[in-house]
Amino acid sequence: MTDMPKLSAIERTEQRSFLLLFLPALILVALIIFAPLGKLVVQSFQDEGAFSLVHYKRIVTERIYWSIFVDTLEVSLAVTALSALLGYPVAYAAARASRLWTGLILAMVMLPFWTSVLVRTYGWLVILQRRGIVNTTLMDLGIISKPLELSHNYTAVLIGMVHVMVPFIVFPLYAALSKIPPELAQAGNSLGGTRSYVFRRVILPLSAPGLLAGAVLVFVLSLGFYLTPELLGGGKTIMVSSLVERNIEQYSRFGAASSVALSLLVIVLAIFWVVDRVLPVEKIIGVK
């Protein structure tokens, strides 16, 4: 075995300098992330001050917990699929438009970020409620005779969440699509391929990393949504975040809330692990 090369005094000094530079950030991360997470872990295994697995047993055995977790996954998948369907044409248009139109399209996509999620959610309540803009307009035009049930249900939750999530998938898609040379599509058309065929065989596969990155981001963020489902769902669409809130506010069961939150964290980490096996992070962000 060969001996490891010894570091010179200058290299050791540089390493210590780098560690000192990183130290404030590491301390901040430990205080903001790891300390609260550690407290959650401890609380999740406690019941009336003693060690217990009762909270995790409740998650496994009680059907209501399984139902809420399944509903959360279904809503998140639906929001991800709708966001991809709506966001892909916008990202494609931005990637193929002139510089002026690209800037305008991306500015319109970014515009919702300047408005609070709470304001946007109440805006959808105004639009979708029984005497809202949609129902009033349709009744004035004689298209419907009574108001449609557009708010406080599953549909309203999807509309509100998709409105918030679309920008999160547009930007990764735009980054991937803008790297695809337009000459590839032109070459495919010149060789006899239709636009749909060229899109399926050339554009879509090359933009898949951006699509996957945006889809994972939207899906993971949707798993933890609280405000929009709570207001637009009217108590009919309960997400995991609402379950955590009810355990604390109504029952003061911090251990139960901690176990639910940690279970959701494990699910998110498992999703990232699976995605990394399919498409490594380095490939998504373009690092060779």
pLDDT at 273: 85
Beta-strand runs (E) in the chain:
46-47, 50-51
Record the tokens describing residue 73, joined without a space: 């996954």
Give the integer Cα–Cα distance in Å for 158 and 78: 8
Q: What is the pLDDT of residue 287?
A: 46
Domain of residue 278 covers: 62-113+165-285
pLDDT at 242 > cutoff 70: yes
- Could you tell me which residue, 3 or 212, shows the higher pLDDT? 212
Residues 6+ away with beta carbon under 8 Å from 79: 158, 161, 162, 165, 218, 219, 222
239 close to 71: Cβ distance less than 8 angstroms: yes
Cβ-contact 247, 253 below 8 angstroms: yes
**How many folded domains does the chain comprise?**
1
Tell me, yes or no, whether 169 lies in a domain.
Answer: yes
Burial of 129 (0-12, 13-18, 19+ CB in 10 A): middle
Position 157 confidence tier, pLDDT thresholds 50, 70, 90: very high
Out of 29-33, 148-152, 188-192, pick the least confident: 188-192
For 225-238, the pLDDT digits (tens) are 888 898 888 778 88
CATH of the domain at 255: 1.10.3720.10
Q: Give the mean pLDDT of 209-215.
A: 89
Q: Is residue 222 part of a domain?
A: yes
Cβ contact 79:158 at 8 Å? yes
The pLDDT value recorded for residue 64 is 87
Position 215 in a domain: yes
Closest listed residue to residue 222, CA positions, set 163, 281, 151 = 163
> Mean pLDDT throughout 1-11?
59
Give the span between the Cα atoms of 272 and 55, in whole angstroms: 25
Q: Mean per-residue pLDDT for 205-225?
A: 90
Q: Which of 100, 93, 84, 96 is nearest to 184 (CA)?
A: 96
Asked if the structure places residue 127 within a domain, the reply is no
Task: Note the pLDDT tens digit of each residue in 98-138.
Answer: 889 999 999 999 888 888 888 888 889 889 888 888 888 88
Q: How far is CA 44 from the centre of its chain?
A: 25
Average pLDDT over residues 233-252: 83
Q: Is 219 domain-assigned?
A: yes
Question: What angle, 0 to 180 degrees and rounded to 10, lies between the N-to-C axes of helices 63-96 and 99-110?
Answer: 160
- Section 136-163 average pLDDT: 88
Answer yes or no: is 131 within a domain. Answer: no
